[in-house]
Chains A and B, each alone.
Chain A
């Protein structure tokens, strides 16, 4: 939507941190994506941002992206981009939620129902 001569959008903080990308490179990363450090011993490059370092540390064990964002007091939109880079670089492993196109299958829904009914 950029007309000639138009200025780029105002750079908000998260836009800068995410190196100018407004969206994560993988659309499989969402609020309910489960993240865990792929190999806790594997060092991040020295160029890693504070947010990258903090996210890998937070994901020492399994956690959703939303939880990691909340514990780190970072916006979800930012953490999506950072997490997606770290998955690409092999520092984080992602267990994704339901792919948007497929939708939940009845077996999964049955398991969810059974789980909720146990809470009655």
Chain B
């Protein structure tokens, strides 16, 4: 676990390659918790400025009415081997932040989408965007004490997922469980990458 000192904030000089995974989902779904549970450093926060897209045209008198919103991202790090460091970025899933993902997702291995079954409809928009943007993702369902228990199949059909999209149950507070969710995602991305470059699969 990271300490507050600055001496151990740095990566070993042997690290040549950074890889990243995005953790997305609605507010309160467990993004910060998951990033913190697996990170080897004290999770960090960064801020990104988003220009509010409400006005289509710049307003002449609008110096002051056009504003930027600050979006906080949590992130953590796992040095996977002497050569590779994995970064996990937790970002909010609300519609207005989608353009931010675009930049963040560039070069990402994939996306872990967190879902809370008590508010399953909150995740519809996020999942639809991931599919539209062609980002490889897996769904991790966080179970809360007052969640009803569902079968994976029920969740899968409630979320209307593609057959190939993996779904796992996860306790974001538990490092092992969070690591399993990440393994599920990377395994899926691996299988996609290993698949021979076939043309679009025929619609069923």
Contact between A64 and B194, CB atoms less than 8 A apart: no
Interface flag for A70 (CB, 8 Å): yes
Question: B62, B85, B104: which contacts A34 (Cβ < 8 A)?
Answer: B85
Question: A12, A75, A95, A116: which contacts B182 (Cβ < 8 A)?
Answer: A116
Nearest B residue (CB) for A22: B51
Q: How many of chain B's residues have a CB under 8 angstroms from any CB in A? A: 59
Residues of A within 8 A of B130 (CB): none
Known: A97-B18, A116-B183. A111 touches B46 (CB 8 A): no
With a 10 A CB-CB cut-off, give which of B15, B80, B182 has the most chain A CB atoms: B80
Q: Give the bracket for the number of chain A residues in contact with chain B.
A: 35 or more
Q: Say how far A106's CB is from chain B's closest CB, in angstroms.
A: 5
Residues of A within 8 A of B81 (CB): 111, 114-115
Q: Say how far A88's CB is from chain B's closest CB, in angstroms.
A: 20
With a 10 A CB-CB cut-off, give which of A32, A62, A106, A113 has the most chain B CB atoms: A32
- Contact residues of B: prevailing secondary structure: mixed
Interface flag for A103 (CB, 8 Å): yes
Closest 8 CB pairs of A and B: A115-B80, A70-B44, A61-B10, A32-B18, A98-B107, A109-B190, A62-B11, A100-B106
- Interface of B toward A, CB cutoff 8 Å: 6, 9-13, 15-20, 38, 41, 44-49, 51, 57-58, 60, 62-64, 66, 68, 70, 73, 75, 77-78, 80-81, 83-87, 89, 103-104, 106-107, 109, 175-176, 179-180, 182-183, 186-187, 189-190, 193-194
